[in-house]
Homo-oligomer: A and B are copies of this chain.
Amino acid sequence: MKALVYHGPGEKAWEEVPDPVIRDTTDAIVRIESTTICGTDLHILKGDTPEVEAGRILGHEAVGTVEAVGAGVTSIRPGDRVLVSCISACARCEYCREGHQGQCTGGGGWIFGYMIDGTQAEYVRVPFADTSTYRVPEGVADEEILMLADILPTGYEVGVLNGRVAPGQTVAVVGAGPVGLAAITGARLYTPSHVIAIDLADTRLTAAAEFGADLTVNNGREDAKAFVQSVTGGRGADVAIEAVGVPETFELCTSLVRPGGKVANIGVHGKPTTLHLESLWIRDITVTTGLVDATSTATLLRLVESHQINAARFVTHKFALSDILTAYDVFGRAADTGAIKVMMTR
């Protein structure tokens, strides 16, 4: 088959590789019909994650059709159309049992396109297929569902649920890239009074407004903290969601929230940050971090099916799977191309 293979920092190719085969009884082989590119794939290509071996097929998001299943797979079968989640869940380790599938110690967690071959290919081997895939409801198109592989549950679980967003609150989302937009989408499910998007790029703030932010701030030009204070009558945001991954934006988040507020970090950080405990110790702040567990996937599927979430809106550009190198180029130059998410279809 053909696949997008990582060949070390800066090097990738769409090339012929052996077809995947069932290795464990809990595996399935899925024929990829749609896949996408994540910011993490760009990080891997830059060499930021040296633990990824050359030769690895990238990608951790897909919709496809089950081609074959191992002897231990009981809930899906060949011909089923499924969402392949970015999180593989063994379902038997203590972390999986307590709902922290992203922390799976039984061989799962985030492994696609990282520890094992991924979904940017014509076929993929899916470990723990029973508990790592979701049947796609009839009549729901790939592009409505593909974002449920990673970005939407990430924004929802790590941003919105960890931040305990509730009706009537003021939610600040710092960073209006794809994950920030997913957090805005998720926050709107709880009817906050205000969702304030904060970013340095006006184009991203325009997208944020389309995705549900009723207020936007360009913190290159404006004082985001003063803005949030003025919106909230001097109180501060109830929840601040960090969707960038640098110390400055994290510190900004901790300065935006009111006493009793929550800071939900989604950003992937490469450096330590400063936590201003000299002022925060007394303010009843909660800071959370997290990798997605995909425990919300069934809920999100129902919301897509009942048209409560418009997940297709994330897809700004579509390509043939074989055109994936162009797709990488367009996604990699998002500032110029306006790409939010790209979709590659078989």
Interface of A is mostly: loop
A45 to B91, CA, bound (A): 36
A150 CB to nearest B CB, Å? 14
Within 8 A of B (CB), among A133-190: 166-168, 188-190
A258 to B71, CA, bound (A): 32
Within 8 A of B (CB), among A250-271: 250, 259-260, 265, 267-271
A284 to B188, CA, bound (A): 23
For A25, list chain B residues within 8 Å (CB): 25, 71-72
Within 8 A of B (CB), among A269-308: 269-278, 280-291, 295, 298-300, 302-303, 305-306, 308
A14 is an interface residue with CB less than 8 A from chain B: no
A227 CB to nearest B CB, Å? 16
A317 to B108, CA, bound (A): 44
Oligomeric state, in copies: 4
A77 CB to nearest B CB, Å? 13
Count residues of A near B (Cβ-Cβ below 8 Å). 74
A70 is an interface residue with CB less than 8 A from chain B: yes
Say yes or no: A281 contacts B267, CB within 8 Å: yes
A130 is an interface residue with CB less than 8 A from chain B: yes
A9 is an interface residue with CB less than 8 A from chain B: no
A328 is an interface residue with CB less than 8 A from chain B: no
Say yes or no: A97 contacts B295, CB within 8 Å: yes
Say yes or no: B281 contacts A269, CB within 8 Å: yes
A64 is an interface residue with CB less than 8 A from chain B: no
A179 CB to nearest B CB, Å? 12
A122 to B213, CA, bound (A): 43
Say yes or no: A131 contacts B91, CB within 8 Å: yes
Q: Which of A276, A282, A300 has the most CB of B within 10 A?
A: A282
For A269, list chain B residues within 8 Å (CB): 277-278, 281
A294 CB to nearest B CB, Å? 10
A87 is an interface residue with CB less than 8 A from chain B: no
For A224, list chain B residues within 8 Å (CB): none
> A61-79 CB contact bits vs B (8 Å, 1 = yes)?
0000000001111110000
Find A271's partner among B190, B268, B277 (CB 8 Å cutoff).
B277
